[in-house]
Chain A
């Protein structure tokens, strides 16, 4: 372990980039500068991962600076085996977002890249924060650049979508703040996350805080019935916005459950588990059927996210070692796969300006490289055995059957419907007679686009066959979480 404040550097590097970007003159320089900053950030995150000690559940790379002493607020950072993966995921998607916006963002490039860099800084901050107020500030601040990304560089209906996104998440966040204050005054008298985990709260208080947190996290995930902002936001957002939304922002809701609700409010979590499992089952099936009915490719992927995020909450609330590790690995894999799907939709949209699935056909013949890679990501999303989606799905389902046959059956139905709509896209867009919207010319992937796809594909294959590195790093933290949830349980 070194004395360098690595996590702070990881967070501040993009922030400094965001501050410097407005002073750059030309668009190409802005693009290259943002790319370099975010790629350096990614390399640093990889360094953190390689130096991460997988044998302990304790927070690593910890930093602590007093911030507002008389309120007990401090600048406290640290990562464990869960959050380290989301730091890696965020930093990976960061530079991919820059590449994905290389030409598709042609107006206000400077401002756009500033937003992206700021977003990256805030998102990594969220996953590293170990002080409730710091977490809350970063969590809220993220709304602003995201709002701008959708509202300025989005599609025709961007203002409506951005506003809806803003309102939903803001409403949730306010309750989150109330929950934090309840925890503070209810016994902790501190905002230190680790200290709050040690406090034994009375059951009624746990119930209220859980519900307050639930609203905030459920909106972010999103769970049915507060999911309606997601399709609008995805459809209107530029490609990079969709990648960030699907890849990182949705994970934050589930991360909230892992970091706060489960360890701090174990009794309430147990109490609400049946409801959470039922809501997850509904999301899996309902989201799946909604996706099946879509003709707009971005909407289809958005609804598929609702369904797939249902698997994650289902796994979390089984309180089973398999289910929870399945949920976390599914969080990571969903970020990779859905990020890749939005990337590829963006690539084809850039060429044709159409999201209508039925307007395409036979793309694998015209643009074979695009076709084969897009097919691989669709199959990964479908959880084909051997690709990354399957591991999480299998683990979550195995655990779900241990809790309730109905939850398991809903999961299986969701998987079946998932196969139906994803194979439907595969068949319609890639196979059959060659057609493109308006018969425009489409060209195959360039080097820049391949550079975006390659690392994502690597994870798709790697974690499909050999997820052990992921699980090894994850396991101690998850075991620790299990003991916090149920002090008598001894996990093997």
Chain B
């Protein structure tokens, strides 16, 4: 396998860190400051995508900066799995940056400099995690992401946002200071290394299966950003954040970081063989299946649009993990592709929720009757996003779920096939009515005083354009999924599944 010593992974991380510093310096010049966000996002994406050709040929970009402890380096490696995560995050940052500018300005939000600076740093953390070559480096960026998103979650600084952000931090830091720390310490103790290895790191150890299972469980729940039940409650709580944060961070960067870490653990720390021989894979599959179904049921009962989207995210994240733990080639491809498919569709849906809020100050689905006529672009995009969640063609969600279904057939597990199909039905049941209400129900006079009267609701162009682009991208992904599917197949083969 070809590998290239490359400084570019570090550049990709440094771009947004530099941008954050510039943003802080330009706090009194709003236009310039916001231009920096967009420019940094574009540059970051270009750097990330320039790494792709080699990775698609099966190579990696490597950079070891220095040794931290014996067997532990501070090092980066760009491989196929990292490429998927980094491409998705950095591409969507461009759109989220544009969207944020429109959203924050139209809402006259306070502390915009803090907002954009923290946003930029969180993208560094996400891409740093994607390119981390070992658990130590990964965890540094994982924790940085928890920390830097905290001010974004409490952004409004009202009672609700203090309560929500408190739960956010308690869950994420609590899980990592207890379970993740134990998992790392045990891994280092047993294996003497924190590196990622294609067949896992525990090959040469004589540790008992029970102990290794404990290590795995500590990872599974310690990476609480993956939001597997019962460690999911931080995600709905994080919805107190401004919508651009919910869109890029709590539908893409932060939650995918959790899932990404788990895929790293499943494929490169535990290894496929150990996952299967200890029965951990099948146990996890049942656990995430429960999460898929339960979260959908929660979503069904939520009238607040963002809360419904949040529970939907909890459910969809578990699809990705299910794809990994079925341990079949097709399922793995489906799981990894779903990282991208879910990202494009879910960010569209959140952008729509934000657009609705900007235009009308409405949060509840029951208040949206007739809004489709006022916001045709937004609600049209919402419909396209919903297709991705349900898994209908021509969306990207169709491709990934198709592979997942094939994978569960391949695994010969009808239970999971049933879960996937049942969940598709549930998704339809909680997303399609939103579109129906918006377009086909008669509008009612607003009850709350803060709501804008329906006839005065107008699209806000600055937020509508990015959401149309993401909606189109989610369709492009369905029609031409080659880039992500090829990467997913590389991940699958690299993990020893095909």
Contact = CB atoms under 8 A, between A and B. Distances in A.
Contacts of A383: 177
B178 A416 contact: yes
B139 interface: yes
Contacts of B188: 322, 394-395, 398
Contacts of B68: 391, 465-468
Contacts, number: 81
Interface stretch (B79-87, B166-174, B483-491): B166-174
Interface string B153-179: 010010000100010010001100111
Nearest to B218: A412
A386 interface: yes
A399 interface: yes
Contacts of A468: 66-68
Interface string A119-163: 000000000000000000000000000000000000000000000
Contacts of B133: none
B196 interface: no
A383 B188 CA distance: 17
A108 interface: no
Give the interface size class of chain A. Answer: 35 or more
B181 A415 contact: yes
Contacts of B179: 412
Given A379-B147, A415-B177, A386 B140 contact: yes
Interface in B164-217: 166, 169, 173-174, 177-179, 181-182, 184-186, 188-189
B69 A467 contact: yes
Given A431-B154, A468-B67, A468-B68, A412 B143 contact: no
B259 to A, nearest CB: 19
Interface residues of B, number: 29
B74 interface: yes
A423 B67 CA distance: 30
A423 B173 contact: yes
Contacts of B74: 465-466
Interface in A444-473: 465-468, 471
A249 interface: no
A419 B136 CA distance: 19
A408 interface: yes
Contacts of A260: none
Interface in A392-429: 393-395, 397-402, 408-409, 411-413, 415-416, 418-420, 423, 427
A412 B67 contact: no
Interface in A52-73: none
Contacts of B451: none
B207 to A, nearest CB: 11
A202 interface: no
A386 B143 contact: yes
A473 B385 CA distance: 58
A44 interface: no
A411 B182 CA distance: 9
Dominant SS at the A interface?
helix
Nearest to A364: B151
A399 B69 contact: no
Given A386-B144, A398-B185, A419 B173 contact: yes
The B contact surface, by secondary structure, is helix
A427 B140 CA distance: 21
A395 B186 contact: no
B147 to A, nearest CB: 7
A384 interface: yes
A22 interface: no
A399 B68 CA distance: 17
A385 interface: yes
Contacts of B181: 393-394, 397, 412, 415
Contacts of A397: 181-182, 185
Contact of B186 (A391, A398, A432): A398
B69 A471 contact: yes
B122 to A, nearest CB: 15
Contacts of B136: 385
A401 B147 contact: no
A466 B137 CA distance: 12
A394 to B, nearest CB: 6
Contact of A322 (B66, B67, B143, B189): B189
A385 B179 CA distance: 14
Nearest to A395: B69
A391 B143 contact: no
A273 B68 CA distance: 29
B69 A391 contact: yes
Contacts of A402: 189
Nearest to A409: B182
Contacts of A427: 166, 169
Given A402-B189, A466-B68, A419 B182 contact: no
A395 B136 CA distance: 12
Nearest to B67: A468
A325 B147 CA distance: 28
A369 to B, nearest CB: 13
B186 A416 contact: no
A385 to B, nearest CB: 5
A391 B68 CA distance: 9
B165 to A, nearest CB: 9
Interface in A280-320: none
A419 B177 contact: yes
B162 A432 contact: yes
Contacts of B182: 397, 401, 408-409, 412
A385 B189 CA distance: 17
Given A394-B181, A416-B177, A385 B140 contact: yes
A434 to B, nearest CB: 11
B177 A466 contact: no
A339 B337 CA distance: 49
A467 B67 CA distance: 9
Contact of A399 (B66, B143, B189): B189
A386 B139 CA distance: 9
A382 B176 CA distance: 12
Contacts of B169: 423, 427
A393 B68 CA distance: 14
Interface centre among B147, B154, B169, B182 (most CB of A within 10 A): B182
A398 B136 CA distance: 14
B158 to A, nearest CB: 11
Nearest to B139: A385
A384 B143 contact: yes
Contacts of A416: 174, 177-178
B186 A401 contact: yes
A183 B178 CA distance: 43
A465 B143 CA distance: 14
Nearest to A397: B185
Contacts of B186: 398, 401, 408
Interface string B70-110: 00001000000000000000000000000000000000000
Contacts of B147: 379, 384
Q: Which of B181, B185, B189 has the most CB of A within 10 A?
A: B185
Contacts of A398: 185-186, 188-189
A197 B157 CA distance: 61
A416 B188 CA distance: 19
Contacts of A432: 157, 162
B16 to A, nearest CB: 17
Interface of B: 66-69, 74, 136, 139-140, 142-144, 147, 154, 157, 162, 166, 169, 173-174, 177-179, 181-182, 184-186, 188-189
Closest CB pairs A-B (n = 4): A397-B185, A398-B189, A386-B140, A419-B177
18 contacts: A385-B143, A391-B68, A391-B69, A394-B185, A394-B188, A398-B189, A408-B186, A409-B182, A412-B181, A412-B182, A416-B174, A423-B169, A427-B169, A465-B66, A465-B68, A466-B68, A467-B69, A468-B68
Given A385-B142, A401-B189, 13 more contacts: A379-B147, A384-B147, A394-B181, A394-B184, A394-B188, A408-B186, A412-B177, A412-B179, A415-B178, A432-B157, A465-B66, A466-B74, A467-B68
